[in-house]
Amino acid sequence: MLTDTNNWIVRDPQISSRGAKSCQVEYASTENCADSKIRFNLGSKELPTKTPFGATTFNNEESAQKTIEFNITEDEDTMFHNVIDWIITHLTENSERIFKKLMSREQITDSFRSPITRRTGYGPHIRCKIRPSNIRVWDAYGKIREGGLPNDLRNYMLVPRMSIEKLWIMSRECGLVLQVCDLMILEREEHACPF
């Protein structure tokens, strides 16, 4: 999982053709990695997760990319808070390079939008992006799943594999983009008839 941040770095800001500003978050050295992407699994086959709201878009608009939230355990919540602490420390130490101005830890903490969300009546979730056309969907046996991605993921037991894609920066806010690249679908929860 995401326990050793010693080899991580936030690269210099890049501006897209649409004017969006972002920084790659990746391994500084790829000596022991296939590439520079930071990837991790959420849950496992033995302890899968679920998505209480499914994959959605703002106002249900058609989009190539959707937002999805996964339930996380208390241990995963702690792990992600350690990642957030690392990134806030890194941004504070490199604020002039990344934000083009000196910023205090308090200012960066105030501007950082955590991918961890909490809603009344639910445990903690982690907010991610998913591109249904680009994702690889697996079954419990490690084979590509026939039928691909179901339209509604809310009743399935899941093991997502994702990457930390980048740090987004917009006016006075910033945050991490977590991208789901693989999704193992284990089983669908069937509800018994209450009558």
| 178/80 Cα distance (integer angstroms) | 12
Percent of the chain with pLDDT over 90: 66
Higher pLDDT, 127 or 2: 127
Residue-level pLDDT at 102: 96
Position 146 scores a pLDDT of 86
Alpha-helical segments (H) within 20-177: 74-93, 95-99, 105-111
Indicate if the pLDDT at residue 191 is higher than 60.
no
What is the model's pLDDT at position 81? 93
Q: How far apart are CA 41 and CA 2, in angstroms?
A: 9
Q: Residue 171: left if φ>0, alpha if ψ -120 to 50, beta else—which one?
A: left
- Tens of pLDDT, residue by residue over 43-69, are 999 999 999 888 988 766 677 789 999
Average pLDDT over the chain, rounded to whole? 89
Task: Report the alpha-carbon distance of residue 74 to residue 17 in Å, rounded.
Answer: 39
133's tokens: 């056309």
Q: What is the rounded distance in angstroms from the CA atom of residue 116 to the CA atom of residue 178?
A: 11
Task: Report the percentage of the chain scoring pLDDT > 70.
Answer: 92
pLDDT in tens, 5-25: 888 999 999 999 888 899 999
Q: With a cut of 70, say whether residue 169 has pLDDT above it.
A: yes
pLDDT the model gives residue 99: 94
Range with lowest mean pLDDT among 51-65, 69-83, 125-139: 51-65
Q: For residues 82-87, give the mean pLDDT.
A: 95
Instruction: Quickly count: other Cβ atoms within 10 Å of residue 30's Cβ.
Output: 12
pLDDT band at 153 (very low <50, low <70, confident <90, very high): very high
Q: What are the tens digits of pLDDT across the range 176-188?
A: 999 999 999 997 6
* Banded model confidence at residue 2, pLDDT cuts 50, 70, 90: confident
For the chain, the C-alpha Rg in angstroms (whole number) is 18
Is residue 137 within 8 Å of residue 18, measured between CB atoms?
no
Residue found under tokens 């991610």: 128
Structural domains present in the chain: 8-188 (2.40.50.140)
- Better-predicted residue by pLDDT, 31 or 142: 142
How confident is residue 108, by pLDDT bands cut at 50, 70 and 90?
very high
